[in-house]
Copies of this chain bind each other. A is one copy, B any other.
Amino acid sequence: MAVTAGTKLDARTLRADFPIFEQQVHGKPLAFLDSAASSQKPRQMLDAMDHFYETSYANVHRGVYELAERATEALEHARERMRAFLNAPSTREVIFVRNATEAINLVAYAWGLWNLEAGDIVVVTELEHHSNFVPWQFVAGKRGAELRMLPLDDHGELDLSGLDAIAREGNVKIVATNLVSNSLGTINPVDRLVAWAHEQGAIFVCDAAQAAPHMKLDVQALGVDFLAVSGHKMCGPSGAGVLWGRAEILQKMEPFLTGGHMISSVHVDKTTWGELPHKFEAGTAPMAEAVGLGAAIDYLEAIGLDAIEAHEHELAAYALGRLAEVPGITLYGPPAERRAGIVSFNLEGIHPHDVAQILDLQGVAIRAGHHCCQPLMHKLGVAATNRASFYLYTIPEEIDQLVEGLHAVRKVFA
């Protein structure tokens, strides 16, 4: 694929790469509007995994035979692809994990559990996914540290006015926020929070699960200390994600999972840890999954992250406009300019589960629930919302299908 930067992507053509769209659901064309939960997979990525299994499979790193060498090369190539994707300084800083949740837990345990002390402060936001909230609450609780939440303002954006007050309360050790909210699509001002965190001497953990699939990332420009990514949301397979971390910090940390591969030497009285990134990759790696993730990055970069972001942005604006036509609808979150391809809403008097179920019968797949954001739901004063989310293969007709579907939902409950 030869695509030059800035080119608009052609979602209709790209759809042909995704076998899932070759079916109808309940006799209707499939309008898959739940990509924020997990994206669909292009054939190219599936082929890369099959090819790996069929020609180059063996356990990595330790074998001196041909298949093991090939497998190791494939895994390390994927690591290099991810390094370049994040503009990380070194592959030593790219750690393969299962998903963003494990990436964040790795930091919470291996840094938080052994560094937090009673009275220290961990700062998160009201807009976090449970995966960037509960781990901090858990380790803070274990260490007697305090959890503070930055609130949202009325536009669904972070209110940073309380930062000074928090800083006066005690030792801020960790600041953890997402870059893009999975509920509201808000793009958060991570730069200001990073600067503030570093002024406090805190580490900054960035949950980029929802950002990585949709926009160009640069860990050096962001200035964060750790960054978590899920492969399955960016055209990669389930079972592989990445934690990026600064080498200086990773080196000083305890390991997280221990066991095979992550050691330098094992003795009854003393075990020493392997070099980065191996120190944090205990046991057999998700090898084929990493290979698939590397292929997904190839796929995304051939299209261009800028083109993907622009496409989603257009869809978000279109969706916000069309949805506003539906009587009784409440739309949550910031205006289109400051959001990714995610739109959350409620229909008056109709529970999201019922909305989603009736939409499903019309071939429209959206998510209904708390989106693993209960603190945000409490703030919004609802138990759940409907959420439609878009990706590179989304076409405006799917949004039309959604809007028509919502009218039908309203008829059922009229």
- The answer to whether B372 and A261 touch across the interface, beta carbons within 8 angstroms, is yes
Chain B residues near A108 (CB, 8 Å)?
Answer: 258
A50, A53, A102, A286: residue with the most chain B Cβ atoms closer than 10 Å: A53
Instruction: Choose the segment among A63-71, A308-316, A319-327, A329-337 that binds chain B (4+ C-beta atoms closer than 8 Å).
Output: A63-71
- Any chain B CB within 8 A of the CB of A360? yes
- Interface SS, A side: mixed
Mark A16-29 against chain B: 1 for CB-CB distance below 8 A, else 0.
00011011011000
- Any chain B CB within 8 A of the CB of A253? no
Number of identical protomers: 2
The residue that A259 contacts in the complex, of B46, B104, B375, with Cβ under 8 A, is B104
Q: In the complex, what's the smallest C-beta–C-beta distance from A408 to chain B, in angstroms?
A: 15
Q: In the complex, what's the smallest C-beta–C-beta distance from A66 to chain B, in angstroms?
A: 5
Chain B residues near A378 (CB, 8 Å)?
Answer: 267
Of chain B, the residue at the smallest CB distance from A372 is B260
- The answer to whether A62 and B37 touch across the interface, beta carbons within 8 angstroms, is yes
Q: In the complex, what's the smallest C-beta–C-beta distance from A162 to chain B, in angstroms?
A: 15
- The answer to whether A130 and B260 touch across the interface, beta carbons within 8 angstroms, is yes
- The answer to whether A230 and B284 touch across the interface, beta carbons within 8 angstroms, is yes
- Any chain B CB within 8 A of the CB of A77? no
The residue that A287 contacts in the complex, of B46, B62, B238, B372, with Cβ under 8 A, is B238
- A residues at B contact (CB < 8 Å): 19-20, 22-23, 25-26, 30, 32, 34, 37-38, 40-41, 46, 49-50, 53-55, 57-59, 62-68, 98-102, 104-105, 108-109, 129-135, 137-138, 147, 149, 230, 232, 237-240, 255, 257-263, 265-268, 271, 282-289, 353, 356-357, 359-360, 364-369, 372, 374-375, 378
| Bound CA–CA A102/B280 (angstroms) | 12
- The answer to whether B41 and A57 touch across the interface, beta carbons within 8 angstroms, is yes
Contacts A131-B259, A135-B258 hold; do A37 and B50 have CB atoms under 8 A apart? no
Of chain B, the residue at the smallest CB distance from A131 is B259
- The answer to whether B98 and A134 touch across the interface, beta carbons within 8 angstroms, is no
- The answer to whether A238 and B286 touch across the interface, beta carbons within 8 angstroms, is yes
Q: In the complex, what's the smallest C-beta–C-beta distance from A136 to chain B, in angstroms?
A: 9
Additional A-B contacts beyond A101-B284, A130-B260 (19; CB < 8 A): A32-B58, A38-B284, A41-B57, A53-B237, A62-B367, A63-B356, A63-B365, A65-B366, A98-B239, A101-B259, A102-B257, A131-B282, A132-B259, A134-B282, A137-B271, A232-B284, A238-B286, A239-B289, A267-B374
- The answer to whether A50 and B57 touch across the interface, beta carbons within 8 angstroms, is no
